[in-house]
Copies of this chain bind each other. A is one copy, B any other.
Amino acid sequence: MKRDSRLSGVLHVLLHMAEMEGPVTSEALAGIMQTNPVVIRRTLAGLREQGLVTSVKGHGGGWRLCCDFDTVTLHDIYVALGEPAVFAMGNRTESPGCLVEKAVNAHMNDAFQQAEAVLMARLRDVTLADLSRDFHRGLQRRDHSHCSS
């Protein structure tokens, strides 16, 4: 399965934006992320709808953070992305006629739901400020520019 790396990617983008002055263009962010500007726009569009970032067109335009790093959690970002599928495994059929499959699905769903609950709880525990703090700690240790990619 191809893993969805949007959550990881958008967090990367947000932290970089926090380190930059003024609005940043999709082009610049795409450079940092080694991807395409359109991909950046697509991804940030979800965050804009949730009021986490703003975008301005034209000369001097670009993207700007407009959220509180102390209160926004990884879970908020996950939701802003449209709550993408968590698991790479799933049931063969979601609404089976077979009673065997029903029994299997019931137990599988139970296990996966519990795991998902834990994941969401953990995502809610971490704020963007937490990530930023850890990044700056890393910076202190190794005294060089914060990113090459």
Contact = CB atoms under 8 A, between A and B. Distances in A.
A66 interface: no
A104 B5 contact: no
A48 to B, nearest CB: 20
Q: Secondary structure of the A side of the interface?
A: helix
A30 interface: no
A89 B99 contact: no
A146 B101 CA distance: 10
How many monomers of this chain does the complex have? 2
Interface residues of A, number: 61
Contacts of A85: 1, 3, 88-89
Contacts of A90: 3-5, 8
Given A86-B88, A87-B88, 11 more contacts: A3-B88, A5-B89, A8-B89, A12-B100, A74-B108, A96-B149, A99-B146, A101-B147, A102-B135, A103-B134, A110-B122
